[in-house]
């Protein structure tokens, strides 16, 4: 980064707000990793690790995986050498204890969050985004059947992998995830606002528009 200090960025927003989509674009542009707790859990689920089996019980109901598991996993991930210049966190923190734990992890690294973009999207739009979301089984790229369709239906533009719909995007589970979001994650908006870190981004623009707004916020906070 410009001044040599690492850039750890948290993307805050409800399920379906576009965090994963934006995190992936920023990660490619800056060459710093995207750390998505949902992706890590899904990867473990796919390879049937102990962590995956544990996470599955929570994910299929749309509940949060317990903090001791999630925080330890993020701490471990951020200790890898590829995170030396920073990381884009997508899906973490998701409650106040996780936010406090992240503050401590970054403090240990001699750094802190410079600002926190909150990607704001209304409830109706969130449900429409979740119900049309398709993911590549191979590379994790995210599509939407209406708003960001693949060139060939059912196939990933990037790697040709098979696209699938997440079981937790079904309306019953998606509704519970939004409930959990409002109860446990939305309080983080105030947590970061009180610390003077919150920057609201209009998440209802097109994907490119959100990217431009995010980059402008990043520039104005002396990031790269």
Separation of alpha carbons 45 and 1, rounded Å: 34
**Of residues 70, 101, 116, 136, which one binds ligand ADP by CB under 6 A?**
70
**3-state secondary structure labels for all residues of 128-180:** HHHHCEEEECCCCCEEECCCECCCCCCECCCCCCEEECCHHHCHHHHHHHHHH
Which residue lies nearer to ligand ADP by CB, 1 or 215?
215
Which residue lies nearer to Zn ion by CB, 27 or 95?
27
The interface region with Zn ion, picked from 46-54, 64-72, 99-107, 141-149 by CB under 5 A, is 141-149
The number of residues that bind Zn ion (CB under 5 A) is 8
Separation of alpha carbons 219 and 22, rounded Å: 16
The answer to whether 77 is a known catalytic residue is no
Separation of alpha carbons 166 and 72, rounded Å: 25
**Of residues 115, 118, 143, 192, which one binds ligand ADP by CB under 6 A?**
143
206 near ligand ADP, judged by CB under 6 A: yes
Separation of alpha carbons 178 and 136, rounded Å: 23
**Rg of the chain, C-alpha, whole Å:** 17
Binding residues for ligand ADP (CB under 6 A): 13, 15-21, 37-38, 41, 58-59, 62-65, 70, 91-92, 94, 98, 129, 132-133, 142-144, 147-148, 168, 177, 205-207, 210
Q: Which positions are catalytic?
A: 19, 94, 133, 166, 177
């Amino acid at each position: 980064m410009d001044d040599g200090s690492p850039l750890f960025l948290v993307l805050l927003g409800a399920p379906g707000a576009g965090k994963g989509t934006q995190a992936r674009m920023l990660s490619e542009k800056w060459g710093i990793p995207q750390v998505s707790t949902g992706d890590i859990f899904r990867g473990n689920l796919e390879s049937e690790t102990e962590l995956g089996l544990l996470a599955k019980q929570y994910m299929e109901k749309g509940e949060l995986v317990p903090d001791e598991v999630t925080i330890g996993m993020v701490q471990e991930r951020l200790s890898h050498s590829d995170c030396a210049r920073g990381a884009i966190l997508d899906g973490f923190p998701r409650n106040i204890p996780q936010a406090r734990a992240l503050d401590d992890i970054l403090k240990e690294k001699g750094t802190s969050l410079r600002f926190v973009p909150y990607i704001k999207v209304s409830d109706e739009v969130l449900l429409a985004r979740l119900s049309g979301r398709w993911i590549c089984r191979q590379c994790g790229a995210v599509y939407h059947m209406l708003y960001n369709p693949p060139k060939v239906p059912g196939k990933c533009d990037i790697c040709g992998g098979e696209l699938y719909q997440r079981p937790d995007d079904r309306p019953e589970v998606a509704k519970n995830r939004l409930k959990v979001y409002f109860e446990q994650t939305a309080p983080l908006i105030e947590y970061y606002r009180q610390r003077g870190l919150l920057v609201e981004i209009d998440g209802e623009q097109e994907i490119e528009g959100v990217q431009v707004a995010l980059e402008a916020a990043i520039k104005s906070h002396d990031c790269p």
